[in-house]
Structure 1
Amino acid sequence: MLAAVGAARLRKLSPCLVLGRRKDPPRDRTRTLIEALQKAGVVVEARMDGAGYHAMELFKANCAAEFTAQVADFVRRRSSAASDVIGASRL
């Protein structure tokens, strides 16, 4: 799958957040994706330590809140980092 995409195309991606669960059936493919992104030089923040199963944040409110908080935190940190770079380039 990733071989067809190629590292040159992966390298163009912005920083990525990858969230997974220990009992997630596609966890092996998720790890392969993380490794391919990192090998291509993409900044990857990966969390594969969550207890539970695939897409449980769709069915359990507490998991939805945790998922939303993780995504919001990632976006907030990346947005402020991007603002710092843009602000520095205007000096």
Structure 2
Amino acid sequence: MAIVEVDAAISNLAGLCPKEGPRFQLTACRQSPRGYAWYELAVDGAAGEQAAIRNAHIVLRALERLAADVLRTDIRIVSGAEWLELARNLRRA
């Protein structure tokens, strides 16, 4: 669903994520640009597309807060930012 990027010094982003909330999997990518670590995000889509969109939004926002508040580093959504916009559109509907 998405790929996020953090400083390479953050070697265990998946292990730092909260365990409560939507079901998701965050897996380190095999290759990342030098100096960065990329992680692939997949959310549980068993409850349907709208639930998956909401869950992707929740997890991506939680990762942003984790990076800013706890890790004191930047996080960049390399791909998958469209899930944030889709979630906003669902709330308006």
Q: Do Structure 1 and Structure 2 share a fold, with TM-score over 0.5? A: no
More helix, by proportion: 1
TM-score (ref. length: structure 1)? 0.32
- Max Rg structure: 1
TM-score (ref. length: structure 2)? 0.32
Structure ranking higher on relative contact order (CA contacts 8 Å, 6+ apart): 2
